[in-house]
Amino acid sequence: MISFDNVGFRYGVGPEILRDVSVTIEAGSFHFLTGPSGAGKSTLLNLMHLGLRPTRGFLSVLGQDVGTLSRRRAPALRRQIGMVFQDFRLLDHISVFDNVALPLRLDGGREREIRRDVTEILQWVGLGDTLKACPRALSGGEQQRVAIARAVVARPGVLLADEPTGSVDEVIGQRIIRLFEELHRLGTAVVIATHNQGLIDRFPHALLELTEGHLVRQPAGALRR
């Protein structure tokens, strides 16, 4: 699904944030991505989501060489990747329902099927009574769950999540991870960046650990700090 080969990345002329990253995210895999603040977790996810391009090395996303991918083709490819951002990136001028429906409408879905799918996913994340609400009227945790619903409603081939449980309590956090696991069982590759060691311990999936710009891959159940 996603393959890094000796990838490096820097902003402008600054030092490299990522160094010699080589890893493959296989179809249907599930990884936690961890590391200290400033290690480059969000940068790595943005590379996977085509928001950034490598400074050097080779990156392939869904079979496409990112180095030769045209800007015209990038949005269509990006729509095949679900992304949950730390800052939610919801549109405040439209309802919760319309925010979640946006990926389906961009793909030309039928309105009756969109209503069914959006209603179902909002109920799953515990927000079935907020369809007509404005995002800014919701709490931070509720907005985060709307962002998660929007990312997964189209059942993307790849789901990337940047601290998706950071604004919710433990119960909702575990429910969110179980939703991601359900998508994983249906074939979606999942990568979750998190500082939550409790979640990593409770849900034993393979671990990607960033340290000083380098990426170390550990199997599920490996001894963790």
More confident residue, 141 or 136: 136
Residue type at 199?
L
Q: Where in the chain is the domain with CATH 3.40.50.300?
A: 1-80+157-168+188-225
pLDDT, residue 222, reads 54
172 close to 199: Cβ distance less than 8 angstroms: no
pLDDT, residue 136, reads 93
Over residues 67-74, mean pLDDT: 89
| CA gap 208, 14 in Å, rounded | 24
Q: What is the DSSP string of 41-110?
A: HHHHHHHHTTSS--SEEEEEETTEEGGG--TTTHHHHHTTEEEE-TT----TTS-HHHHHHHHHHHTT--
pLDDT, residue 172, reads 80
pLDDT in tens, 24-38: 999 989 999 999 888
Reported as half-sphere exposure (CB side, CA atoms, 13 A), residue 176 has a value of 28
Over residues 206-214, mean pLDDT: 92
Of the candidates 100, 18, 80, the residue with the CA atom closest to the CA atom of residue 53:
18
Q: pLDDT grade, residue 166 (50/70/90)?
A: confident
Give the range among 87-91, 108-112, 117-121, 176-180 with minimum mean pLDDT: 176-180
Over residues 61-77, mean pLDDT: 90
Q: pLDDT grade, residue 223 (50/70/90)?
A: very low
The second-level CATH assignment, the architecture, of 1-80+157-168+188-225 is: 3-Layer(aba) Sandwich (3.40)
